[in-house]
Structure 1
């Protein structure tokens, strides 16, 4: 450059107002002043492309780096002066600026310990290639554009040789540029590091990827790529970074790395998904989501910008995993305003966890899969990966405490980690109280209803209850099956009346290791041939196999009526002609049981498959299994399975090998077995306790069905010979057995439709003795012959204390009158049912007087059923005078539960209502299906206002009330004024022949009906509330529950009596618990740990009473301290969400109406409204499922 040109530029620069900088040489002045617009460009070029991407901020240039021009003297200065100026310039330039350390750093940079430093790979993508420098201290990781910039911040670094530095300019120029570059460094405090891992993409060789949290106030993640020359350098830096970060996070709490607003936002998300009371059970980890090399997410670009990208967190709750992405924000944002993307995964749906602790890899992969769904793979990285592994293993063990640990090792494939010994405590019910809610939460379904039954030979028994409104979904059923796997607490499992059809036709195309149990709890492997069979089966068969094979404790399984062929409420068979589809489904129950027992892979010895149609092939499989000498069955129930002659005969023949069988139920099959086959099998039994063989054989000879010597060795508790016409020899055998001491354990005897006459029944009753504690069913027997002998025995007190004489059609009215007079004298019968038993014609005055005397004089009967019945082809009612005979109740002081359905009480309800007004012992009254009208109903309510003891009065069923509503609306129609018809109108077709309705009258009828209904409800509620208060205040009231045989009578009688007993029992139980643990009367409150004094059954909410478990299957609202609706009968699905209509079972939105009909006294016309089309017998409808079970057909 010429001197003239230099002087010209210098004169231009001298016009500046600011004083020139004395430290610039002419050469530097030339570069600074002559190319001033390119200063920012040069500074940006000095950084590599990767460093520009990773800069969180670009601060403005400081005053120390500003350059000013000054006109210098000519080059005539001496060499000494030049050296003097250079030394003074270097000493002033090399002094590091005063920098303020970050709040996340504990000390200044000059006092930090430098652990490692070195050059990165030269970035060839920049216009001017430059080698960056990396410094790792005990507190942060810093990245500089050059070594000089690093030495400005860390003056403690040893100076390198000039040749190593490789600078081409003067020291003054390098030092000034180093100051500027030092301020533009990338500094990562170790406390903010989220993950460090190697980038395995094809175009990123020898590269490390570092993610860290942006410092406050920004809420974002930043990323930088560190490229090294060799793989050894990369691995050396990776190991050192991992060790340094691990030491740093050990000394700092995990909660400190999560911003407060993010933590609150995540806790809110978890609370909305799970019922979390203690937030300390939730652990949150900062993570980074790793993508496959071929995929690129939208977060990759945003994460490299100067403002950072979204942040990621992995939260592990009690039942769920949460992967949460928080979009870029700041720390001042309210938790509710944070934009979050949430992915939820059930902890128990974790099928694979891949990680390694053998080398320094912070990456781990989690695979989740819900049944019938696709697998979701989540690859993450975090410096807290070891804590995440420990927490995941711990939560998996907590939610599946009884699963073998080798199955957990199959899920958690952690290289370098020895199998930990995970011990759990407080596993009530074998962990079911926490496993079942966990599976339901993972499958996003509600918890099914269940209870625990302690009154079974193999106890305790898990009982899944039928859904009250609709069938359970496939995932709900799978949640129960998976929660019961490897459960060593329950000895029995029952799915009775639960529809398993949703699983019968489903296939789950998943890894068989997830759905099939190939090894039992004691590591017994499944054979290969059986494995192939189960692998190709449907989901239901796989789950039945896994349930029985996995557990070594299950001895009893109940799968009765699991395909809905029978109505679980009424016990009646549905009208289905083709049972082939049901037989195919039943095969999925029979096959896994028979295969496991034949291979001696199960300890189950009690099988219940009643009310499921069994095909001929399945019958053969059962026969082959029973014939095995090593199969020792104790219980086999195949009632109502539609077994044909050959299948039933084969099973009876195979029973010769089962001498130890204690419970056998083959009743109500289609086929018949030869007398010799059954006699041969019965003679081999040694310890039978329950024998139900109704309709299995016909006695064609005069020989007895039983061998007297074998019968004497039995300890029968239940015997059902219904449908078998018994001869005198068999009756004699029964009488001899009942008179012996070996029959003292017999509690239930069913001889329905057994062609017994009065004399035969009298002999059986006399052999029992007086007041035998038994339930005896003698329904549909022709008792006219020998009725006097029978009545003499009953009048003398012989017979059982619970007697059912239902559906007996006396051919003479005198027989009915004689029976009632004998019952009036009896003092031993406590529970009596005469439902459907009637005279051949309408009851005469003599018969009505006998009914009146029986009700007035009997002092022992506490449960009484005198219902009638009507069907399309027959009816059994006592006629119009029966309602007046009910006046005898006003003198009765024993009856507590009275049922009188279908007895035409609407004709004369006065006597019945007057008796209810003065009777003080009645507790429940069921008088449905009596065509009561509004006037009758109002009159009864006026009388019930005087009764303070009756706590449940039900005059209508829901169906009956619907029918009454329709009829009342039709009767309320007001016809339009009729005109005189013309000759032509007779032949003209009228389009609208429907009469007009008077809306005002209909509205008035609705209002009157509603008022009457609410009045009755208030009376019953008041009586019930007073009764509960009296029980809570009077300690002696608890004796009502403990009355001998009370539970037996309530269960046998069913209906309102059973509900009332259960309510009293719950109130009594609640009084004994602490006030802080009181629940509503609908909840059960017995501890699951205690075996002494246990009730017969424990509900699902009852299982959570122990301090170590909080599971409950009921998801109703909060319990009230005093809930007194325990004895109210409501039809399923007819409860309103706002209020319980305890009298009728319907909500107020139905707007019931009723109008007094014109056929009140028209006997023949009234009969047409006593039933609605398609209904079965009303008497049968009133009996619940428990009553049907007592008949021995289930």
Structure 2
């Protein structure tokens, strides 16, 4: 509504209509009133009753003043006639300043209630003021006579009381001071009892000031008795409710105020919900027992600041608008705004039964103090309805009884509210609400639809600093009562920010004492939780409140694997680190003991566990009512006693356990203990016990009869010297049908000979779709049997034989010749495998023959290794072997690091320029200088297939530049003895040319990088065109299967192949329904279907962990390596995704670095390190190089 319309409609003000005044003048003769004395008038002007008579320029007192001056002939001035004309012809208005009832004469209104107010004894001539309540207005008169003069309908009501009193029977004129106050009911903001100490029987009413003012007015009314006050309050509230049914709330707000409020909501909440319409309610800010806030010194009927409650998408905003008018620009309005998260509402107290306008709101953020806000509003019912709906929408999965605890509204029945569009159980909406309430950025998360149990929620590690306590708390609260997910994973996320912290909240949602299905914890359990830390309470709530969480993955949550925390495990205090694990484990054990949760899988891998917590776990596993399915306690710093007690207790879970992982702990268990526990296991599909025992017996570790019932998918026996009986039992199992599900077998440093490996390969059959790790085994012994099996095609299609040092070069040559004719192995890693000395010409020729003649291997790692104590390189002549790469037509991904290729880059350059199948080439760690690098990059110009190339890491480039500068300085030094004059100049010359030389070298490196980026981009475009043609021409089934096999091998191989596939995925290539089910970043596959034969080459869909690699990449792929893409399954899910593939691992899958590294020694977690020490989880190895140290 524009300003002119407001002015036109409000021009009559609040004046009495002249027709009403004429009615009184005609019906009664004029009565002369005695003029009050000067002293009395002065005293009355100082009283509160007199102050009420001053209205903001548009009250009926102006009209009554004119009525007093008129004669009985009803003559009036020109201004009176104009005002009468406007009042008669002005239409009904929707503004608070000119409501419909203000245009009506008093005589036409329906009187609801009337009576005298309490006499003000402070006046010299005290007279009781009179109050009249109609269906439109509340009017206060100076006396009852004045009220009856204005409302002739009151005569009939009072005639039976005193018929002899002429003032009760005859109407009189209305003087200037007779109408003290008039309040339009439609403008009333709130009416409530005045609970101040000085006025025990009073009322307080707030209403909108007349147009054009943008403010509130207030007044107090005092009665003789509290009962009389209560009757009046009930009558006023009833009349206000009748008016509210006809008056929309939005009509009372001006356009400029609404615009300013919308701006406040948008700036505070951001783009949480663009389609949400905020609800605006006028309210009064109160402080009961004291004077009203904002009006401590304000007298009745004076303009004061206005208050508004805005319920937005995620926040509740309280806005105070300082006195202004409707014409003020929105940006010029002086406002004070305070916002609270709706999900931080701890109490809302109100009463619907008593129609009380007042209500109380309490907010509390974690680790903060509670904020109480006392409000009052005539629209309290709408506020309750809107706020309960907002709370339900932000926490759609929370049970109804928790909402009733927060909303203590008397007389309100429990509402049945059904929310719509609860995708992912309302997670996205709830998480945004909590983050907005806690004022923290939303963390990164994703949904994993592949590994069972699924769907699984996974909180992704941050890209920079660790998540704050409030960010973690927002995730926990958003997941509470969410029955959509069946698995929760915090793998690799540092939770130490919450560990050891307490938040003693008396009210709110800090403690979950009732589950979604109505189960309630006992008083004893409740007392335990009250004394627990915040992390314990949240883990309890996560597992207890939901009906669907079956799996909890808390691997590496102690901060050891964080990028910002590069201390070794030995440099940390194990006791402090185990505290975080204790706060995870204790609530889980308590719920299992009381049978109050359905979670049956727990992973605490990579987190030190205290002895007491391990004892509690072992005691719990012995109980009959406990049934665990998956338990992962690898790399938990368990000692001999703790690990032994754990394995003894696992016998009690023989009927339920499906997955056991206790690998890579400090302790060693007796052979008989593990043998006895394993003999009773009924349904294992994952067994990782690397380094857990020593074979001091000739007996087999496995009972073959029991083992035939297992459907193993993953087996890790690394770090234990397997005896012949155990190898025989394994070979029998591999030949059985039950082993067709086996996807990953790790036998690293297990002392297997070549003959024993051949025995296992023959049992596997030909081209078995399985990933086998045989790093550090004794292949020299029985090399002929092994080579015969490999040459015939027996064994896996993915073989890792890293860090194998042959005692005789002839054995190494035999292996290479067997691999040359092998037609089953597609992914092969020989990183660190070498001859005793530098490779001879015969060995180099065998390597060249392998490159030129093998037509099966597509992923090859033949990197070397170099350290201070040992090296595993093939020597200077290895570069000549690359000549066979010119004619190779199968290798697509080649990694050849640390092989001294810088000594003869011509061989590498010729191989690159002639090869037509390579897609990625990784040759870091070869100490290329600027000339070498330029020569290799120039050869890529002649190659049209390589898409990703890495020759130097960032650190290598810096070292190369420093080395070049040093060499230039040495080369420029004078040969002959300098003269005396030249001795005085060298410093100036050096200082003048040092910096330009460095800059010049950097420019040359950057120019080469630009050329490389151009070549790679050209090759990528050609590959995209060929892929699109192949996808449209090929019937697809074979093409899709090949694509999935590439994904499988790329995740196992890691490095540039995985980066290349990630880039293709980002560009939308190779995008089919089957490949949508594959997550390149979370690296999870479904269990493959039963195969008709073990020699089938169909892809086994299985859970793999993705690879962590800090590969040196070209400028064109640098940005893509950190790109993110939404998970394609299901397509409608729109959630943040993981931005670094090196952090992705499926539920309960061991963290592994498989690109060229030998992460197999049970005393070494990751990397090719000859010095035996522990590396903390997640430390990537960028190259095979010697350790840094003195």
TM-score using structure 2 length = 0.82
| CA distance 1:1179–1:141, change in 2 (3 Å) | farther
Does residue 141 of the first structure (1) align with residue 138 of the second (2)? yes
1:105-132 CA distances to partner (integer Å, 9 max, x unpaired)? 2542243333233332223344543433
Instruction: Identify the residue that residue 381 of structure 1 maps to in structure 2.
Output: 376
Q: How far is 1:751 from its partner?
A: 0.3
Does residue 425 of the first structure (1) align with residue 420 of the second (2)? yes
Instruction: Identify the residue that residue 398 of structure 1 maps to in structure 2.
Output: 393
In the alignment, the residues of structure 2 paired with residue 1180 and residue 643 of structure 1 have an alpha-carbon distance, to the nearest angstrom, of 16
Q: How far is 1:503 from its partner?
A: 0.9
| CA distance 1:1182–1:500, change in 2 (3 Å) | closer
Q: How far is 1:623 from its partner?
A: 1.0
Q: How far is 1:350 from its partner?
A: 0.8
| CA distance 1:1094–1:292, change in 2 (3 Å) | farther
Q: How far is 1:948 from its partner?
A: 3.6
Q: Of 271, 281, 284, which aligns to 1:285? A: 281
SS at match of 1:487: coil
Q: How far is 1:371 from its partner?
A: 0.8
In the alignment, the residues of structure 2 paired with residue 355 and residue 26 of structure 1 have an alpha-carbon distance, to the nearest angstrom, of 52
SS at match of 1:793: helix
Is the contact between residue 64 and residue 176 of structure 2 (CA under 8 Å) also seen in structure 1?
no
| CA distance 1:1027–1:850, change in 2 (3 Å) | same
1:660-699 matched pairs, under 5 angstroms: 660=655, 661-699=657-695
Does residue 1020 of the first structure (1) align with residue 1032 of the second (2)? no
Is the contact between residue 451 and residue 1100 of structure 1 (CA under 8 Å) also seen in structure 2?
no
Instruction: Identify the residue that residue 1115 of structure 2 maps to in structure 1.
Output: none
Is the contact between residue 976 and residue 995 of structure 1 (CA under 8 Å) also seen in structure 2?
no
Is the contact between residue 902 and residue 1179 of structure 1 (CA under 8 Å) also seen in structure 2?
no
Does residue 1112 of the first structure (1) align with residue 1150 of the second (2)? no
| CA distance 1:432–1:276, change in 2 (3 Å) | closer
Q: How far is 1:991 from its partner?
A: 13
1:768-787 matched pairs, under 5 angstroms: 768-787=764-783
Bigger mean CA deviation after superposition, 1178-1187 or 1055-1064: 1178-1187
In the alignment, the residues of structure 1 paired with residue 995 and residue 449 of structure 2 have an alpha-carbon distance, to the nearest angstrom, of 57
Q: How far is 1:374 from its partner?
A: 0.8
Q: How far is 1:915 from its partner?
A: 2.8
In the alignment, the residues of structure 1 paired with residue 1133 and residue 740 of structure 2 have an alpha-carbon distance, to the nearest angstrom, of 43
SS at match of 1:691: strand
Is the contact between residue 541 and residue 592 of structure 1 (CA under 8 Å) also seen in structure 2?
yes
| CA distance 1:640–1:817, change in 2 (3 Å) | same
Q: How far is 1:723 from its partner?
A: 0.5
In the alignment, the residues of structure 1 paired with residue 734 and residue 518 of structure 2 have an alpha-carbon distance, to the nearest angstrom, of 49
In the alignment, the residues of structure 2 paired with residue 708 and residue 1113 of structure 1 have an alpha-carbon distance, to the nearest angstrom, of 47
Does residue 743 of the first structure (1) align with residue 739 of the second (2)? yes
1:1046-1061 matched pairs, under 5 angstroms: 1046-1061=1046-1061
Is the contact between residue 867 and residue 1179 of structure 1 (CA under 8 Å) also seen in structure 2?
no
Instruction: Identify the residue that residue 316 of structure 1 maps to in structure 2.
Output: 311
In the alignment, the residues of structure 2 paired with residue 569 and residue 823 of structure 1 have an alpha-carbon distance, to the nearest angstrom, of 43
| CA distance 1:775–1:276, change in 2 (3 Å) | closer
SS at match of 1:413: strand
Q: Of 470, 476, 479, which aligns to 1:481? A: 476
Does residue 411 of the first structure (1) align with residue 401 of the second (2)? no
Is the contact between residue 805 and residue 835 of structure 2 (CA under 8 Å) also seen in structure 1?
yes
In the alignment, the residues of structure 2 paired with residue 1178 and residue 888 of structure 1 have an alpha-carbon distance, to the nearest angstrom, of 35
Q: Of 929, 941, 944, which aligns to 2:925? A: 929
| CA distance 1:636–1:162, change in 2 (3 Å) | closer
Is the contact between residue 926 and residue 955 of structure 1 (CA under 8 Å) also seen in structure 2?
yes
Instruction: Identify the residue that residue 821 of structure 1 maps to in structure 2.
Output: 817
1:31-85 CA distances to partner (integer Å, 9 max, x unpaired)? 69xx9x99985884697155157756689967974999xxxxxxxxxxxxxxxxx
Q: How far is 1:1177 from its partner?
A: 8.0
Q: How far is 1:900 from its partner?
A: 2.0
1:189-214 CA distances to partner (integer Å, 9 max, x unpaired)? 22221111111111122211111112
Is the contact between residue 50 and residue 225 of structure 1 (CA under 8 Å) also seen in structure 2?
no
In the alignment, the residues of structure 2 paired with residue 896 and residue 747 of structure 1 have an alpha-carbon distance, to the nearest angstrom, of 23
Q: How far is 1:556 from its partner?
A: 1.3
In the alignment, the residues of structure 1 paired with residue 692 and residue 197 of structure 2 have an alpha-carbon distance, to the nearest angstrom, of 77
1:36-55 matched pairs, under 5 angstroms: 41=42, 44=45, 48-49=49-50, 51-52=52-53
| CA distance 1:805–1:552, change in 2 (3 Å) | same
Cα RMSD for the two superposed structures: 4.4
In the alignment, the residues of structure 2 paired with residue 1104 and residue 103 of structure 1 have an alpha-carbon distance, to the nearest angstrom, of 58
1:20-59 matched pairs, under 5 angstroms: 41=42, 44=45, 48-49=49-50, 51-52=52-53
| CA distance 1:606–1:1182, change in 2 (3 Å) | closer
Instruction: Identify the residue that residue 850 of structure 2 maps to in structure 1.
Output: 854
Q: How far is 1:1048 from its partner?
A: 2.2
Bigger mean CA deviation after superposition, 37-46 or 480-489: 37-46
1:313-351 CA distances to partner (integer Å, 9 max, x unpaired)? 111111111111112111112222222211111111111
Instruction: Identify the residue that residue 1140 of structure 1 maps to in structure 2.
Output: none
SS at match of 1:892: coil
Q: Of 318, 328, 334, which aligns to 2:329? A: 334
Q: How far is 1:187 from its partner?
A: 2.8
In the alignment, the residues of structure 2 paired with residue 647 and residue 217 of structure 1 have an alpha-carbon distance, to the nearest angstrom, of 79
Structure 2: state its 5+ residue gaps: 1-28, 88-96, 1085-1099, 1107-1122, 1145-1166, 1182-1190
Instruction: Identify the residue that residue 1159 of structure 2 maps to in structure 1.
Output: none
Does residue 186 of the first structure (1) align with residue 187 of the second (2)? no
Instruction: Identify the residue that residue 545 of structure 2 maps to in structure 1.
Output: 550
Bigger mean CA deviation after superposition, 379-388 or 209-218: 209-218
| CA distance 1:960–1:200, change in 2 (3 Å) | farther
Instruction: Identify the residue that residue 120 of structure 2 maps to in structure 1.
Output: 123
Instruction: Identify the residue that residue 951 of structure 1 maps to in structure 2.
Output: 947
Q: How far is 1:919 from its partner?
A: 3.1
1:382-781 matched pairs, under 5 angstroms: 382-511=377-506, 514-566=509-561, 574-576=569-571, 578-660=573-655, 661-781=657-777
Instruction: Identify the residue that residue 1094 of structure 2 maps to in structure 1.
Output: none
In the alignment, the residues of structure 2 paired with residue 27 and residue 425 of structure 1 have an alpha-carbon distance, to the nearest angstrom, of 70
Is the contact between residue 435 and residue 483 of structure 1 (CA under 8 Å) also seen in structure 2?
yes
SS at match of 1:864: strand
1:513-534 CA distances to partner (integer Å, 9 max, x unpaired)? 6322222222222233332322
SS at match of 1:226: strand
In the alignment, the residues of structure 1 paired with residue 117 and residue 193 of structure 2 have an alpha-carbon distance, to the nearest angstrom, of 15
1:53-132 matched pairs, under 5 angstroms: 65=66, 92=74, 101=87, 103-105=98-100, 107-110=103-106, 111-126=108-123, 128-132=125-129
Q: How far is 1:305 from its partner?
A: 6.4
1:759-811 CA distances to partner (integer Å, 9 max, x unpaired)? 11111111111100000000011211222221121111111001101111112
| CA distance 1:276–1:784, change in 2 (3 Å) | closer
Q: How far is 1:583 from its partner?
A: 2.2
1:656-693 CA distances to partner (integer Å, 9 max, x unpaired)? 21122111111112121111111111111111111111
Instruction: Identify the residue that residue 1009 of structure 1 maps to in structure 2.
Output: 1005
Is the contact between residue 365 and residue 379 of structure 1 (CA under 8 Å) also seen in structure 2?
yes
1:1088-1123 CA distances to partner (integer Å, 9 max, x unpaired)? xxxxx999899998589989x98634699xxxxxxx
1:212-255 CA distances to partner (integer Å, 9 max, x unpaired)? 11222211111111222322332222222222222222223222
| CA distance 1:326–1:1050, change in 2 (3 Å) | same
SS at match of 1:869: coil
SS at match of 1:390: helix
Q: Of 224, 228, 232, which aligns to 2:227? A: 232
Does residue 844 of the first structure (1) align with residue 867 of the second (2)? no
In the alignment, the residues of structure 2 paired with residue 166 and residue 954 of structure 1 have an alpha-carbon distance, to the nearest angstrom, of 113
Is the contact between residue 286 and residue 292 of structure 2 (CA under 8 Å) also seen in structure 1?
no
Q: How far is 1:506 from its partner?
A: 1.0
Is the contact between residue 570 and residue 1180 of structure 1 (CA under 8 Å) also seen in structure 2?
no
| CA distance 1:980–1:896, change in 2 (3 Å) | closer
Instruction: Identify the residue that residue 900 of structure 2 maps to in structure 1.
Output: 904
Is the contact between residue 945 and residue 1019 of structure 2 (CA under 8 Å) also seen in structure 1?
yes
TM-score using structure 1 length = 0.82
Q: Of 793, 797, 806, which aligns to 2:793? A: 797
